[in-house]
Structure 1
């Protein structure tokens, strides 16, 4: 049966739209989730971190599984897992079950997302059509992040927080039903000789989970407690074992030779720091808007819209500037803008106007994060061999997700500790929350400051049109 490639693109892009949407749609529902399921303040971050950590931890294995099992088969399997866990999350009776559902939902995203991108790449040959397809793919993905907070606000205010998860179910059912008619099955020649690097996936994910959990528990137990030190050291041991396994594996999850690329390593660090700053800012600001300013969920979502618009505009401008100036100047400018935006947010008080207080910082930060990610994605694959470009892209995407989860854990821990200290000192609850917000945003700004140094150390790259389109689609 002949299938239109553009119909295939619609199915794949909508699936990616849902995956990205779920990263941000939950943020404005967090206060309602906290009160209904009796979340502790430090436990609430796991509603976000469980999803992003499992998504990042299994993203590389998802790409390898698509090669071995066939991308359409894995795409449908990932969609089904994503839909079932969305239903479970929406019906969750307690905080523990919600966190587990969110973690497995992230695993579903890690299976379907690389499979969808593989199907898109195979469906459209290099050239103008692929560039257009990649642009649509990237545009819908960016739109998902922007609309997530607004959609979340609408659902929470009109219905209930549970609908930020339940809304996925009919969308997934529809996509699974139409996929066989619009997406063709593809099996790679010689795929039978390839194997799963299950040991690598288990070691890397377990190690990262241990490190993040250790950071989270530091707020309660202290950094020098046996519990925290045990998890941090255990995580480091597991990650070391992961590196040793990968070096000896005949078909590794992450080829170690990729780390010899200076462009790839510096870009990975930049994207990880970018993810840490972005998720931290989003989490803290969503809480600030609703618990300090008294915004409804919908109002909070609408207040994030200008940042999303700035990010979309920045993607267009950054793509043009990279072709003229190269990657390093654009990445450096983006890092500076990110720092500036976050520092502006630290000046916001309890009664400041949104237009003169929050809006400038959100717009500056929206420009900055995309101006970092576009050139970083381009530089990441600039000197990687063509047959390893997919692995390199998967690696930096995973680093972004995991960097976000780790950064959020650090920022939340330090922010909550400061709120507790302020309350103990007799500061009022509202002011204590604002002080905690400022502390967390300052830590997020420190991530962006480090990114300035990373940008200076990144090799200069001037991409061709095709590589620019592919990088913009994944930024």
Structure 2
């Protein structure tokens, strides 16, 4: 999803929902109301057992495969905070368009999460995972040889579609192979793989940057080849190793209608046009047709999507209309648009300042940013093992937002960014800001996942992840315009300050709106509810 931060590319919400409503088996299942459960399918707690019975060794080996998928999804986003500048230089990408090095993957990734979750439900999670994994590996290998920016952006977008297959399919397969009492540790380990990828992503990119050659031997090209070497053998093996549970509605005749292709592609078009408009506005001006046309059309597509979904029956809609009637759901989804953008809009400018302005090695820039990753990881662990701290999401979110706002103030006051200035302003801001935003992220996740009924956990989680990733892409696009307000682009810190001031004002506005719109339920208490929410939401990116 971020580097040593929390990556927008990794999905951390349970796109498969609670095991109680999973109906997939090795054969086609009857409708839920007529399903007959055998005694061995129910554990001692009364919950359904794993749908596919495997040995312990095979279960945990499969978890390692799913965790690798999470790992490379995070790397596919986070490492490019280091590689954006060299890729832009090699492929002749204009400064105003550099955010597309990152967002070309994130936009399609976020737009297809709901779609691939639906495909996994209707057919089977195994082919979605296996062939998506293979496609991602092949795309990474091909991208490593591309000579121009246009083919790079197009294939990065396609790889985002492939990457979006992995997370919802992984969640569904984990629920299928693990017993209910094993799911807690399985999801915790799965989520922590994302956290480890956060910490290692920029470091790996930094170490690869020591490769001295250019052209086809550039460091960023070797990164794509490294990822391909990790993925392709594992993905091919997964075809033979992963069992194949059938889709939950594999016996229905109207699968194509249930896929809701119109909804999937209208959201994709809306998000892409919105990001394109913001990018062109930064490059050519905010009063030009190049900005206004895609920007306005995107809002038309968003409106069409919501009208279309409202007219469809719930079982056919990608995002059922009843979802928005859940208390606090709309408020939390709107608020989620801010979260990933906080990390993205400080990582990218600081990396470029350290490397391009101060002439530091990429590995040094990665080390300077490492406190953000460790702070987020520490908060992740704390909230995982002490779930009572997120028992009231309103206060968790508000407290974390205040810390992140303080961090933005400190960011804006740093003028040299190195030496004493780094330790006085940036280091403490990285700690309190990233830790606070991790608390915000967790509180938002738990608030959503504990507010929806179990049977809606999948669509709620996918909607949340879409909002997180789309918000990050929009934030980077807006920042790319603000970094050109004054001459000098990134080398003129006044431009960076302007983007931080904008983020600061936006954060204050979002916090006020959240406090006004969020309505805690009177019955919510909470240690048990928070713990249940954390079980359904692995807390790592």
Scaled to the shorter chain, the TM-score interval is over 0.9
Partner in structure 1 of residue 399 of structure 2? 333
Are 2:277 and 1:214 aligned?
yes
Offset, 1:74: 0.5
Are 2:288 and 1:229 aligned?
no
Partner in structure 1 of residue 23 of structure 2? none
1: CA distance, partners of 2:236 / 2:292: 48
Which of 402, 426, 430 in structure 2 is aligned with 1:358? 426
Where does 1:214-363 land on structure 2 (aligned, <5 Å)? 214-250=277-313, 251-319=316-384, 322-324=387-389, 325-350=391-416, 352-353=418-419, 354-363=422-431
Which of 172, 179, 192 in structure 2 is aligned with 1:139? 192
Task: Report the structure, 1 or 2, having the larger helix content.
Answer: 1
1: CA distance, partners of 2:157 / 2:122: 24
Offset, 1:464: 4.2
Q: Deviations 1:302-322 (Å, cap 9, x if unpaired)?
A: 112111000011113334665
Partner in structure 2 of residue 459 of structure 1? 519
Partner in structure 2 of residue 396 of structure 1? 464
Offset, 1:364: 1.7
Instruction: Give the stretch that moved more between structures: 157-166 or 456-465.
Output: 456-465
Where does 1:108-127 land on structure 2 (aligned, <5 Å)? 108-127=162-181
How many residues align? The count is: 465
Offset, 1:454: 4.3
Q: Is the 8 A contact 1:277 1:445 kept in 2?
A: no
Instruction: Give the stretch that moved more between structures: 53-62 or 277-286.
Output: 277-286
Aligned to 2:413, what secondary structure does the other structure show? coil
Partner in structure 2 of residue 25 of structure 1? 79
Q: Is the 8 A contact 1:254 1:391 kept in 2?
A: yes
Aligned to 2:209, what secondary structure does the other structure show? helix
Instruction: Give the stretch that moved more between structures: 316-325 or 276-285.
Output: 316-325
Q: Is the 8 A contact 1:87 1:166 kept in 2?
A: yes
Offset, 1:124: 2.1
Q: TM-score, normalised by structure 2?
A: 0.82
Partner in structure 2 of residue 415 of structure 1? 483
Q: Is the 8 A contact 2:192 2:540 kept in 1?
A: no
Instruction: Give the stretch that moved more between structures: 454-463 or 166-175.
Output: 454-463
Offset, 1:474: 5.8
Aligned to 1:262, what secondary structure does the other structure show? coil
Partner in structure 1 of residue 455 of structure 2? 387
Partner in structure 2 of residue 11 of structure 1? 65
Offset, 1:265: 1.6
2: CA distance, partners of 1:357 / 1:144: 26
Aligned to 2:338, what secondary structure does the other structure show? helix
Partner in structure 1 of residue 91 of structure 2? 37
Which of 136, 150, 157 in structure 1 is aligned with 2:203? 150
Please tell me whether Structure 1 or Structure 2 has the larger radius of gyration of its CA atoms.
2
Q: Deviations 1:108-142 (Å, cap 9, x if unpaired)?
A: 11112111111112222333x11111111111112
Partner in structure 2 of residue 85 of structure 1? 139
Aligned to 2:247, what secondary structure does the other structure show? coil
Q: Deviations 1:46-81 (Å, cap 9, x if unpaired)?
A: 010111110001110010111123101100111111
Are 2:250 and 1:185 aligned?
no
Are 2:435 and 1:435 aligned?
no
> What's the RMSD between the two structures over aligned residues?
2.0
Question: Which sections of structure 2, spanning at least 5 residues, go unmatched?
Answer: 1-52, 213-218
Q: Is the 8 A contact 1:156 1:163 kept in 2?
A: no
Q: Is the 8 A contact 1:272 1:403 kept in 2?
A: yes
Question: Which sections of structure 1, spanning at least 5 residues, go unmatched?
Answer: 424-428
Offset, 1:248: 2.2
1: CA distance, partners of 2:417 / 2:472: 30
Offset, 1:473: 3.5
Instruction: Give the stretch that moved more between structures: 91-100 or 153-162.
Output: 153-162
2: CA distance, partners of 1:389 / 1:280: 30
Partner in structure 2 of residue 173 of structure 1? 232
Aligned to 1:161, what secondary structure does the other structure show? helix
